[in-house]
Each structure stands twice: as C-alpha cells, then as structure tokens.
Structure 1
Amino acid sequence: MATSRRMPRAQRRAQILDAATRAFARAGFAATGLDEVAAESGVTHVILYRHFASKSELYRAVLDRACQRLEESVGSSDFDETSIPALLRAAAEDPDGFRLLFRHAVREPEFRDVIDTFRTAAIEVTDRQLAEVIPAGPWRDWAARLVPTVALEAVLAWLDAGQPDPDQAAERVEQAVHGVLSAAGA
C-alpha cells in the first residue's frame, strides 16, 4: 500500500467517506470489508480507525452524509415542480450514495432506521400535498406511500440504465408519478 501523505483531518475524513461510499455501493455493508475500504481510500487500517471506531460507524457516517446531501439538494419540507429534477441531479452527482440509501440500506436491518426516517418524512410531505387534490381516505394513504416509492425507483432505474436523456428524465419520472395520482383519483 502506498504511504498516505498527511492531510488535514477533515480532508482525510472526506476522502475516506468518498472511498467508503464507492466500496459499500458495490456490495452493501455485510459484503464489504474494511480492507476494501482502506484500499479504496489509500490509507492504512490505523488511519481508518483514527476517523471511525468501527465499520458500522463508518457506514452510518456514509449514509448520514448521503441523506444530508439529498436533503440539501431536494429539500425536506415541501415538494414542488423542482423536486424531481433536483432528485435526479442529486442522484447523478452521487450515484453511489443514492444507491446505498435506496438499494442497500433498505435491506440492512442495522441501518434500516435511516431509510425508515426518510420514507416517513416523504410520506408525510406527500400526504400534505395530496390533501389539496385527493380526499382523506385509503386512496390518498395509498398514493402518499406510492408516490415517493415510484419516484425513487424511477430514479434508481434511470441510474442503472446509464442516465439516458437527462434533459427528459424529470418529465418521464413526473409522468410515472402522475400515473399514480390518476389511479388514486386525483
């Protein structure tokens, strides 16, 4: 392993988080060892442990950073016509972080709380907005749960397809979301 040059603590931490995001995105938490993260980071285990006490702590920091970036890009209190384009931009800027959140962490019981918190907030915001167009009841509840799921899965599928037609992607995701709203009676 190449010798790591000294760098400021915050810069080294960011380097490790970037590398850990890439490493964990390939196979998830359970299948990724700290050896892989250290190699991807270009640091020794000693340096890795100076910044993170455990693999779990490192993974949670990666997920927290991905959530923070997503919230900064998309917002968390309201969804509007800029939300889906912002979601696509956030996914394109950090595809590994996006995949970690919505493909890996959702399947990892120890970290499921991160996604459950995100999902609960998205459902609450969606429900508030749907109140304007769908009366209270089971179909609004259904749509409030399905709209965020459809949007996120559409963005994941877009990433997996190689991010085709980025100028048209938001419109296509919006069409999928409007299909849910139409089915719910909006």
Structure 2
Amino acid sequence: LSDSKQGRPKGFRGHVPSLAAGSQRPAAVPPKLKEMRNQEATVGQTVVLRCEASTEYPSLKFKWFKNGKEITKKNRPENIKIPKKQKKSSELRISGALLADAGEYTCKVNNKIGNDSTKARIVITDPNGKTWLILSLGHVILASSSLMVSLSPIDTGTLELIHSSWCSG
C-alpha cells in the first residue's frame, strides 16, 4: 500500500502515536520512578541524587523530602540546590556536603493520573576517620564521645533505640 492509501500524506515518515481503545488521544499513564541509589560521601564532597520518571507524560510535578520533611525554598540549606526540572527528571545537588546533610531523601512525583516515590540514603563521613551517628531527631553525636546506646534491629535497615545514657566529663 502507498502512503496515501494508508490515510497518510504521500511521503509521510513521522511517528503516529498508538491510541488506547476508543480514545482520541495517546493513553496517559501514571508516573513510575527509577530506583535511586544510596550514596556515601565525605565532608566537603558534592552529592547528586537524580530522580527520573519512566513516563513521557508532560505535567510531572516533583517534590523532595529529607527524613520525611519536604525541602522547600524557605527551609532548604544553602548548599542544597534543586535545579529546574527536566521533562521527566529532577536532581537534588548537595555541594560541600556537611555531616548534617546525611539522612534519607525521598523524591515524589505526581501527575493527573497518579504518583510514585523513591528513596535513597546519604551517608556523610568525616575525612578524619571519625564515625558520626545522625539521629532521626536531627542531633549529631561524635561516636567517640561518652554516649552509650543499645540498639535492636526491628526490620531491614531500621534500628530501635532500647536504652541510652550520656556520660559527661
């Protein structure tokens, strides 16, 4: 069959999107995010988390969270930047990483059809070889200080504080 017999202009070489049954438009799909990887960096390094959707749906809205709290222009530390999003991705860039930047980062995306989210943990280490424990309450404690804690695993990647005592002096 020639192009004109298939309902296309003669010489047409473009792509015709497939249509959902009974629809006049290409099928809209909910966004699906690729899994982000956990990252480890030392103080002062740059860390980049990339949140990428597998859908081409045009009106994707991305939001970033740290330890469950949304990162906004008002509460975002100066060293964290979220450049203007691309059509199907968003980045979170930490320049000159600080110990306080460690934590669990979540990227959430939504459109009119649905939503998805993905998480990654960032661990920041001290270049002097010290180990730091970042508590979910936001406190930073030098492990060589006199803090005694008892932890118990409650599921994969989660520890429960059973007992703690602080010895100053």
Considering fraction of residues, name the structure with more helix: 1
Considering fraction of residues, name the structure with more strand: 2
TM-score by length of structure 2 reads 0.27
TM-score by length of structure 1 reads 0.26
